[in-house]
A and B are shown apart, each in its own frame.
Chain A
């Protein structure tokens, strides 16, 4: 077992627990999909008033990766591997994640918080990964990337610096939630510093939520999966120590719904799309931080996907108690149709990027 990947998993789990304790939304701590969605909201790309905040965690993760990759000479400006397709896949993965209400990282964090709905999401995630693996074994590829200019490599790190500078100097430019998940946040500088450390560790360790299961199934390589498991147990123990753990249940879990079919299908989308992209949303941030322009495009696609999800009412609604009546939450008709369309897109991308001779 690789101590760097396990150490990174423990650090990610601890960061999630600590940031939640300091104000981040419950069972979230460190959700890439949710936090990109909040940034999309803060930039007024969507108008959902409860999910608007410039999350310093995203800035820190990208820049932590940039600093580490510059230090260990792994920063490389590369791009050109089907960028438009990656943009679309990024949007699809984001919509799938918002149907479930969390990226793969938040899925693990929710599991460690006792949310059984997230275990249904895990089943969907695994199914999506297996579908992706089927196409990888058939020869699926988004083709090669190439050396490009440094401007390409610094696009997302530069955008993050600009975003953080603007929100610090001129916060009135942005929208900030007054209620809901977007209004809950840890102190910005602490969140930034924690994320810088996690970003650096993630760059060094290559931690990836989708890579863990993919490599275990394809190559019997359990290196990345050990990081995934480490996050789960760290969050579980952390919640127990802090008295947040109330046992495993599907009932009234924080910012989660119990519409299991859509928990499952949302994460099938995320698993499948992430395998095609070569990494989970966290990994895309880290790769973009180390100069990968294709991953930067994917992150922009995820931000667009978040805006689409809220502008067209595709995202899941959390379970709630309304006048004492339990509502399981879930997604509306628009979201259901969107998931259907996304499956068609994923299938088309998977089939059209197979080798011609197979």
Chain B
């Protein structure tokens, strides 16, 4: 789980990139709280071959990345 809530651009993507480079997980959950972060992480995840689903609750987003 990458918790990037409250972090501004591009830190959420940096954190996901770090996790992907380090462990290359088949599945990864990412928490963010801004739509712009959802968009940025989604673009990066797609470029790394992940499919992305997003759940929203009270302005916070849980992103499920899956290869």
Contacts and interface: CB of A to CB of B under 8 A. Distances in A.
B47 A278 contact: no
A206 B36 contact: yes
A221 B35 contact: no
Given A76-B59, A136-B14, A220 B6 contact: no
B14 A221 contact: no
Nearest to B36: A206
Interface string A145-167: 11000000000000000000000
Nearest to B9: A278
A244 interface: no
Q: How many B residues touch the partner, as a band?
A: 20 to 34
Interface string B15-46: 00100000000000000011110011001100
A294 B36 CA distance: 16
A223 B5 CA distance: 23
Nearest to B13: A219
Contacts of A214: 10
A264 to B, nearest CB: 25
Q: Which of A137, A208, A219 has the most CB of B within 10 A?
A: A219
Nearest to B3: A144
B11 interface: yes
Contact of A219 (B5, B6, B17): B17
Nearest to A74: B35
A294 to B, nearest CB: 8
A144 B9 contact: no
| B interface secondary structure, majority | helix
A81 B6 contact: yes
Nearest to A141: B11
B14 A215 contact: no
Contact of B10 (A142, A144, A218): A218
A211 interface: yes
B44 A221 contact: yes
Contacts of A206: 36, 39
Contact of B6 (A78, A208, A211): A78
A219 B47 contact: yes
Contacts of B39: 206
Contacts of A218: 10, 13-14, 17
B8 interface: yes
A221 B43 CA distance: 8
B7 interface: yes
A278 B10 CA distance: 7
Given A74-B35, A76-B34, A219-B17, A146 B47 contact: no
A182 interface: no
16 contacts: A74-B34, A76-B59, A136-B11, A141-B7, A142-B8, A144-B5, A144-B7, A146-B6, A215-B13, A218-B14, A219-B10, A220-B47, A221-B43, A221-B47, A223-B43, A294-B8
